[in-house]
């Protein structure tokens, strides 16, 4: 366990709520900036949070994004209730997407979401149960 959490905040994310999509991530960014996290690290965390949040909005019924900051790391813990991902290995491939035309019109569904999260994380774990939901554990070292 890499240090006690000094800050925790949870954000509720609703599926299909396009008007508010991204609000949690911009709040995460503001918080990290205020705490004094270096800008490049803030950007990595914000991008990972945004992709994770959009995944909930686009594909799940509802979800929670939890930000934890300790002296050692930033943790983004995201879990949702939704259809889940049948083949995670496939979903992790750049360019693979099951997005509908509607999602693509929103500017998403390029098949870059999960790869983007992995790229910006120091540690990334994903678990999914079909018919139940998906859980992401994203860690960025400070």
Phi, psi (5° rounding) for residue 87?
A: -130, 95
Beta-strand runs (E) in the chain:
7-14, 60-69, 73-82, 123-129, 133-141
| 142 is a site residue for another protein (CB under 8 A) | no
Q: Which is nearer to another protein, 28 or 60 (CB)?
A: 28
> Could you tell me which stretch among 6-14, 79-87, 114-122, 130-138 binds another protein (CB under 8 A)?
114-122
Distance CA 43, CA 4 (A): 23
Q: Which is nearer to another protein, 49 or 121 (CB)?
A: 49
Residue 47 belongs to what H/E stretch?
A: helix 39-59
Chain-centre distance for alpha carbon 105: 21
> Could you tell me which stretch among 8-16, 66-74, 78-86, 112-120 binds another protein (CB under 8 A)?
112-120
Q: Which is nearer to another protein, 4 or 19 (CB)?
A: 19
Binding site for another protein (CB under 8 A): 18-19, 21-22, 25-26, 29, 39-40, 43, 46-47, 49-51, 104, 106-113, 115-116, 119
């Amino acid at each position: 366990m890499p240090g006690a959490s000094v800050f925790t905040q949870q954000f509720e994310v609703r599926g299909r709520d396009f008007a508010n999509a991204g609000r949690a991530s911009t709040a995460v960014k503001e918080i990290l900036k205020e705490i004094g996290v270096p800008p490049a690290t803030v950007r990595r965390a914000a991008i990972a949070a945004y992709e994770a949040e959009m995944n909930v909005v686009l594909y799940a019924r509802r979800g929670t994004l939890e930000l934890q900051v300790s002296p050692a790391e930033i943790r983004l813990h995201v879990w949702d209730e939704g259809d889940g991902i049948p083949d995670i290995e496939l979903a992790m491939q750049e360019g693979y997407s099951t997005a509908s035309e509607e999602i693509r019109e929103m500017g998403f569904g390029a098949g870059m979401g999960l790869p983007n999260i992995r790229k910006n994380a120091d540690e990334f774990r994903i678990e999914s149960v079909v018919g139940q939901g998906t859980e992401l554990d994203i860690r960025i070292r400070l």
